[in-house]
Structure 1
Amino acid sequence: MNEAQILVTGATGRTGGAAIDELLDMGMRVRAYARSDGEKTAALRKRGVDIAFGDFTDLDAIRAAMEGIRSAYFLHPIAPGIIGAAAFFAQAAKEAGVTAIVNMSQISARRESLSHAARDHWISERVFDWSGVATTHLRPTFFADWLIYEHFANEIRAKKKLNFPLAMDVMPPSARTIKAGSSRTFLPTRRPMKGRSIPCMARLR
C-alpha cells in the first residue's frame, strides 16, 4: 500500500466515487476500500488510488486498510448490518490511530424512529461517538440522483408526478453536490468536528 492519507469506503459507488474525485482534485492521497477487484477498481488504480480489499464484516481487513491513514469515510449501504459495521470500523480506526471519521448517515436518523434503517443509522452514529475518534455525521435527505434510477423513473412516468417525502422548500442534494461537503471535512487544515451532525440539503427559497 502507498502512503495514502484518506480511506474511502463505497469507493466504486456514486457517492464514494464522487468523494474520491473531489479528494484527488484537491491533491489528497486516497485509498479505496472495495469488496473485490474489477473494472472500477482498475480505473481508480490508474488514477493513483491505492486499493484495499475486504468488507465491513472483516475487522482484520478494515484494520489493515487503515494502516497509515489519517482520516476515513464510512459509507454503508441502506441494508442490515450497519451497527456491527460501524463498531468494526470505529475499533479499527482507534487501533490505527485515525484522527477523524466522516460518517454518511441520513436526515431521519433518530432514537424514536419507526424505521429500522433510520434508527440503526442513529445507533451507528452513537457507536462512532463512543469510540473517541472524532466523527462528523453527514445527514443528507435523499440523493437527487436516485430519481433517474429505473424504479423511481418508472413511477414518475406512470403517475405523472413527483412525490417528495420532505417539505416543499427542501431540495435533495446530488452525489456530486454532497462530495464537496464530505471531502472538505478531510482537509488537514480543518479540525475534526467531533460528534457534530450536519444536515445536507438545499433550501428552494
Structure 2
Amino acid sequence: MTKPIILVTGATGKTGSAVVSELVKLGWPVRAVVRTLDARSERLKKDGVEVVAADLFDPEQLFRAMQGTSRAYYCPPFNSYMIQSAAAFVVSAQKARLEAIVGLSQWLASPSHPSLLTRQHWLIDQLFSMIPGVTHTIVNPGYFADNYLRLINFAAHFGILPNLTGNSRNAPPSNEDIARVAVSALIDPAKHAGKTYRPTGPALLSVKDMTKILSRVLKRKVVPIDMPMSMFLKAARAEGVSAFELSGFRYYIEDHKRGAFEMGAPTNDVYDVTGQQPEDFETIARRYAALPKARMSMENKLRALVDFMRIGFTPGYDLDRYEQEQRYPLPAYPTFATDSEVWGNEHSLKGGAAKFGFQGINDIYEARV
C-alpha cells in the first residue's frame, strides 16, 4: 500500500527538520515547505525529500504546495501576523482536501496572555479544530531544552550558564522528542484525532540542576550566573534574535518564575505516544556539547570571548516602545498562564492560579505598554 505524502512546514527549523528526519527514517514520503532554497534545503533533497519554496502567508502558494498531500505538520512562523498564516493554511487545507493536521502549539497558549504570539497560538488551536473533515492534533510543549542549551559555548569555555528563571523548575523536552510525538500523530491520525499532547523531559530540573549535569558532560565545573533581563536582551540582539520574538519571551520568563512549566510536569506523553522513553537532559546536553562551537580549542574560546564582549557594545531592545509602535491588539485583562482560569481549565489544572496565589499581571503589563 502506497503511503500518503506528508507536508511539513518549517522544514529547516528546529522541530520541522526533526519531523522530516524522523519521517524519512520511517520510510514516509515527505514534501518539505521552506521559505527559501538554500544549503539546508539542498541537504533535504539529498535525503530524498521533495522540497518546495512557499510563502506561509500566501494561500495560493500554500495550496500549490499542499496539492497531492494528505497530512500536514504545521509549525507556525514567528511573526506578528501568524494568525494570517494559519487562516491561509486552513483555506488551502480545505481546497486540497487534507485529511489531518498536526499543529505545533504552546503549553502557555491562552486567550488573554500578555504575549501576542501566545494569544495567537490559542486562536490557531481553536481555528484548526473547526475545519470540517480534517482531524487535528495539538502538540504543545513548554520551555524547550534548546532554550537553555543554545548558550552551551559559554558553559564549555567559561564554565557559566546564564540563568533568567531563578529557582523555578521545568522538565525540558528535546526537539527530537517533540518531533517524534508529532510524527506518531501524522502516521496514525485517526488514533490521535482531537488529542493534545505535551511532550516533556523525564524530570523536573532547575538551572542549578542543569549546571551539575553540564559539569559531567563537559568535564568541567559549570555554575549558574543570574543574568538581568536588560543584559539578556543585549545578548539576544547580538545573536540576531528579533524584537518580536523577545517581546513574548520576556513574558515566558515570568511564567517560568511563576511555576507554569512545573505544573503538570513531567508527563508520560512521549512514551505513551511513541513507545520510547523521553530523552533526559544529559542526553540532550551531550548532543549540544558535540557541536563545533562547544568543542575545546583556542579558536573557539577566543570566538566565545569576542561574542561575550560584543554584548557590552550592543544596544538592547526597548520592548515597551516596540510593542506600542506595533499597535498590537491588546487583551482587556492580560493574564499570565498561572492566573488564567481558562488556561487552568483547558489544561486540567483546576484552581492552578489560586494554588500559587499570583496576582498583579495588570499592574506589570500596564507599566510596560
TM range (shorter): 0.7 to 0.9
Query: What displacement does 1:149 show?
Result: 2.4
Equivalent position of 1:186 in the other structure:
186
Residue 33 of structure 2 aligns with an amino acid whose one-letter code is Y
Scaled by the length of structure 2, the TM-score of the pair is: 0.50
Equivalent position of 1:201 in the other structure:
200
Residue 112 of structure 1 aligns with an amino acid whose one-letter code is S
Q: Take 1:204 and 1:160, find their aligned partners in 2: how far apart are those partners?
A: 19
| Bigger mean CA offset, 99-108 vs 177-186 | 177-186
Equivalent position of 2:324 in the other structure:
none
Query: Are 1:8 and 1:31, in contact at CA under 8 Å, matched by a contact in 2?
Result: yes
Residues 54-93 of structure 1: matches in 2 within 5 Å?
A: 54-93=54-93
- Seen in structure 2, the aligned counterparts of structure 1 residues 84 and 158 have a Cα distance that, compared at 3 Å, is farther
- Seen in structure 2, the aligned counterparts of structure 1 residues 63 and 165 have a Cα distance that, compared at 3 Å, is farther
Q: Take 1:127 and 1:165, find their aligned partners in 2: how far apart are those partners?
A: 36
Count of residue pairs brought into register by the alignment:
200
Q: Take 1:192 and 1:67, find their aligned partners in 2: how far apart are those partners?
A: 24
**Within the alignment, does 1:111 sit opposite 2:128 as a pair?**
no
Query: What displacement does 1:6 show?
Result: 0.3
- Seen in structure 2, the aligned counterparts of structure 1 residues 144 and 70 have a Cα distance that, compared at 3 Å, is same
**Within the alignment, does 1:6 sit opposite 2:12 as a pair?**
no
Query: Are 2:135 and 2:190, in contact at CA under 8 Å, matched by a contact in 1?
Result: no
Query: What displacement does 1:77 show?
Result: 3.1
Query: What displacement does 1:14 show?
Result: 1.8
Scaled by the length of structure 1, the TM-score of the pair is: 0.87
Higher helix share: 2
Residues 131-142 of structure 1: matches in 2 within 5 Å?
A: 131-132=131-132, 133-142=134-143
**Structure 2 unaligned spans of 5+:** 205-369
Q: Per the alignment, in what secondary structure is the counterpart of residue 114 of structure 2? A: coil
Equivalent position of 1:147 in the other structure:
148
Q: Take 1:25 and 1:186, find their aligned partners in 2: how far apart are those partners?
A: 14
Q: Per the alignment, in what secondary structure is the counterpart of residue 63 of structure 1? A: helix
Residue 198 of structure 1 aligns with an amino acid whose one-letter code is Y
Residue 51 of structure 1 aligns with an amino acid whose one-letter code is V
Q: Take 2:56 and 2:74, find their aligned partners in 1: how far apart are those partners?
A: 10
Q: Take 1:31 and 1:20, find their aligned partners in 2: how far apart are those partners?
A: 9
Residues 63-89 of structure 1: CA distance to partner in whole angstroms, max 9, x if unpaired?
011111110011023331211111111
Query: Are 2:177 and 2:199, in contact at CA under 8 Å, matched by a contact in 1?
Result: no
Query: Are 1:63 and 1:95, in contact at CA under 8 Å, matched by a contact in 2?
Result: yes
- Seen in structure 2, the aligned counterparts of structure 1 residues 192 and 97 have a Cα distance that, compared at 3 Å, is farther
Residues 8-47 of structure 1: matches in 2 within 5 Å?
A: 8-47=8-47
- Seen in structure 2, the aligned counterparts of structure 1 residues 125 and 186 have a Cα distance that, compared at 3 Å, is same
Query: What displacement does 1:162 show?
Result: 3.4
Q: Take 2:182 and 2:128, find their aligned partners in 1: how far apart are those partners?
A: 16
**Structure 1 unaligned spans of 5+:** none
Q: Take 2:5 and 2:189, find their aligned partners in 1: how far apart are those partners?
A: 14
Q: Per the alignment, in what secondary structure is the counterpart of residue 94 of structure 1? A: helix
Residues 17-38 of structure 1: CA distance to partner in whole angstroms, max 9, x if unpaired?
1111100011000000011111
Higher strand share: 1
Q: Per the alignment, in what secondary structure is the counterpart of residue 23 of structure 1? A: helix
Q: Take 1:40 and 1:56, find their aligned partners in 2: how far apart are those partners?
A: 18
Q: Take 1:167 and 1:77, find their aligned partners in 2: how far apart are those partners?
A: 28
Query: Are 1:15 and 1:176, in contact at CA under 8 Å, matched by a contact in 2?
Result: yes
Residue 138 of structure 2 aligns with an amino acid whose one-letter code is H
Q: Take 2:83 and 2:171, find their aligned partners in 1: how far apart are those partners?
A: 28
- Seen in structure 2, the aligned counterparts of structure 1 residues 190 and 103 have a Cα distance that, compared at 3 Å, is closer
**What is the alpha-carbon root mean square deviation over aligned residues?**
2.6
Residue 203 of structure 2 aligns with an amino acid whose one-letter code is L
* Structure possessing the higher relative contact order (Cα contacts under 8 Å, 6 or more residues apart): 1
- Seen in structure 2, the aligned counterparts of structure 1 residues 25 and 166 have a Cα distance that, compared at 3 Å, is farther
**Within the alignment, does 1:98 sit opposite 2:98 as a pair?**
yes
Q: Per the alignment, in what secondary structure is the counterpart of residue 140 of structure 1? A: coil
- Seen in structure 2, the aligned counterparts of structure 1 residues 72 and 166 have a Cα distance that, compared at 3 Å, is farther
- Seen in structure 2, the aligned counterparts of structure 1 residues 12 and 73 have a Cα distance that, compared at 3 Å, is same
Query: Are 1:6 and 1:72, in contact at CA under 8 Å, matched by a contact in 2?
Result: yes
Residue 21 of structure 2 aligns with an amino acid whose one-letter code is D
Q: Take 2:120 and 2:63, find their aligned partners in 1: how far apart are those partners?
A: 23
